[in-house]
């Protein structure tokens, strides 16, 4: 490794795990540090994270990744946040956090989402999005109806990775791809559209939306406070970053509609970029893709979260997950014939327009059966 080698650090905040990765200029991974995303479930259907705890955990993970790579913070040439899409992270009118962030696996607003989806034809020509339970405007409307005191305090609305970038830089900005996946952007113009805010009954939130930026834009630098928390050097450039499914598509070379990307995370995500938007009756989502064109997406909340749940269930107290090897060994020596236990995979609320995957025989004997329920 020479002095000319450049190093880049990514903070990938997912709904199940958060990772900090350091790579060099040739894309070689030098280190990775991770921790479970600490979700709070104060009521059924609620999935939240405490901003202060999240920031402390990220700081520890960044320091661990630097140590593992044998690097000083001053040797990092750029920082990029990546995060789960949708959910909701807000700042007060004073530009500071005041409430827990809402993860994309939150399902509190399911009835509202169904109501808006029944009228989605009214806005589909603008946003080219169906309505999902964890989108910004649905959650904002839920807050307006159910927690009006909190709603009244909102000064800025952010996506997950843009919220993390705020902690790194103090800058309040929203990346266009994430915003477009949240039913608030006109896909023809690439800008916010007041008609969408009117549709969801939250017109006052239009003025709370930050300036839109592109994924590769520089969006500030590491502040002194962020440097103290993470070990990164003050002044290190920070870039806008990506919605995680965009990042996965790019990283796996999915750059056209010749092939598509399958991602198993908190959600099961199937995407491909296209020059043509998916139609209303196709049931798919459209959003801005950083190389141009549209990212077409089909997804369901029935993915790696289920495996994580099973791995934790295999231990006595659920505090430490079993290993994949242990799960494989168990599957080789057991079957599900002795039990009638049924595992329904929508851990955090049901999805619409998806195929159901049902796992039979959960408990300590486990086999898998896949059923279609269109």
Name the least confident of 61-70, 128-137, 202-211, 364-373: 364-373
Phi, then psi, of 12 in degrees rounded to 5 = -110, 100
241 and 336 assigned to the same domain: no
Query: Which pLDDT band, with edges at 50, 70 and 90, does 317 fall under?
Result: low
Does some domain include residue 104? yes
pLDDT in tens, 141-169: 999 999 999 999 999 999 999 999 999 99
Residue 368 pLDDT greater than 50, yes or no:
no
233 and 261 assigned to the same domain: no
Does some domain include residue 24? yes
260 and 141 assigned to the same domain: no
What CATH number has the domain bearing residue 56?
3.30.420.40
CA 29 from centre of chain = 22
Q: What is the pLDDT of residue 343?
A: 65
Name the least confident of 39-48, 107-116, 265-274: 265-274
Average pLDDT, the chain: 86
Which of 202, 217, 246 lies at the terminal end of a domain, its last residue?
246
334 and 198 assigned to the same domain: no
- The C-alpha atoms of residue 20 and residue 209 are separated, in whole angstroms, by 28
286 and 311 assigned to the same domain: no
148 and 45 assigned to the same domain: yes
Q: What is the pLDDT of residue 366?
A: 33
Nearest to 80 by CA among 233, 282, 237: 237
Residue 364 pLDDT greater than 60, yes or no:
no
Query: Which pLDDT band, with edges at 50, 70 and 90, does 331 fall under?
Result: confident
Domain that holds residue 183: 7-246
- pTM exceeds 0.85 for this model: no
Does some domain include residue 316? yes
Residue 369 pLDDT greater than 50, yes or no:
no
Number of structural domains, the chain? 3
Spatial contact of 335 and 364, defined as CB atoms under 8 Å apart: no
CB atoms under 10 Å from CB of 211, counted, come to: 9
278 and 318 assigned to the same domain: no
308 and 231 assigned to the same domain: no
Does some domain include residue 374? no
221 strand-pairing partners: 237
Q: Of all residues in the chain, what percent carry a pLDDT higher than 70? A: 84
93 and 59 assigned to the same domain: yes
Query: Which pLDDT band, with edges at 50, 70 and 90, does 178 fall under?
Result: very high
pLDDT in tens, 244-272: 888 888 888 888 888 888 877 667 778 88
105 and 42 assigned to the same domain: yes
Residue 274 CB burial class (10 angstroms; 0-12, 13-18, ≥19) = middle
Does some domain include residue 290? yes
Name the least confident of 40-54, 190-204, 303-317: 303-317
170 and 287 assigned to the same domain: no
Does some domain include residue 372? no
If phi > 0 it is left, if psi is from -120 to 50 it is alpha, else beta; for residue 23 that is beta
- The C-alpha atoms of residue 123 and residue 132 are separated, in whole angstroms, by 14
267 and 321 assigned to the same domain: no
Does some domain include residue 49? yes
Does some domain include residue 1? no
pLDDT in tens, 66-101: 999 999 999 999 999 999 989 999 999 999 999 999
């Amino acid at each position: 490794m020479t002095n000319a080698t450049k190093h880049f650090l990514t903070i990938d905040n997912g709904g199940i795990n958060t990772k900090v990765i350091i790579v060099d200029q040739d894309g070689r991974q030098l280190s990775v540090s991770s921790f479970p995303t600490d979700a709070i479930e104060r009521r059924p259907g609620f999935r939240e994270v405490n901003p202060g705890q999240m920031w402390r955990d990220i700081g520890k993970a960044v320091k661990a990744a630097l140590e593992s790579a044998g690097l000083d913070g001053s040797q990092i040439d750029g920082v990029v946040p990546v995060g789960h899409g949708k959910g909701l992270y807000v700042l007060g009118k004073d530009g500071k956090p005041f409430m827990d962030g809402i993860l994309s696996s939150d399902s509190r607003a399911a009835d509202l989402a169904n109501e808006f989806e029944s009228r989605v034809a009214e806005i589909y020509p603008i946003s080219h999005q169906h309505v999902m339970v964890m989108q910004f405007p649905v959650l904002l409307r839920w807050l307006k109806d159910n927690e009006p005191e909190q709603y009244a305090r909102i000064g800025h609305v952010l996506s997950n990775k843009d919220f993390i970038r705020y902690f790194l830089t103090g800058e309040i900005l929203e990346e266009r791809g994430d915003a477009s996946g949240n039913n608030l952007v006109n896909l023809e113009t690439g800008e916010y559209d007041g008609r969408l805010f009117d549709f969801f009954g939250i017109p006052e939130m239009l003025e709370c939306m930050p300036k839109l930026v592109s994924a590769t834009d520089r969006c500030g630098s590491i502040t002194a406070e962020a440097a103290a928390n993470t070990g990164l050097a003050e002044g290190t450039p920070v870039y806008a970053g990506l919605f995680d499914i965009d990042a996965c598509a790019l990283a796996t070379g999915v750059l056209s509609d010749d092939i598509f990307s399958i991602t198993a995370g908190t959600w099961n995500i199937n995407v491909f970029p296209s020059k043509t938007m998916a139609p209303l009756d196709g049931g798919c989502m459209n959003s801005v893709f950083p190389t141009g064109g549209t990212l077409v997406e089909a997804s369901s909340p029935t993915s790696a979260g289920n495996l994580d749940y099973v791995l934790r269930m295999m231990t006595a107290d659920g505090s430490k997950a079993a290993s994949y090897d242990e799960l494989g060994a168990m599957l080789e020596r057991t079957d599900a014939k002795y039990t009638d236990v049924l595992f329904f995979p929508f851990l955090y609320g049901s999805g619409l327009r998806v195929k159901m995957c049902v796992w039979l025989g959960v408990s300590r004997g486990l086999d898998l059966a896949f059923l279609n329920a269109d």
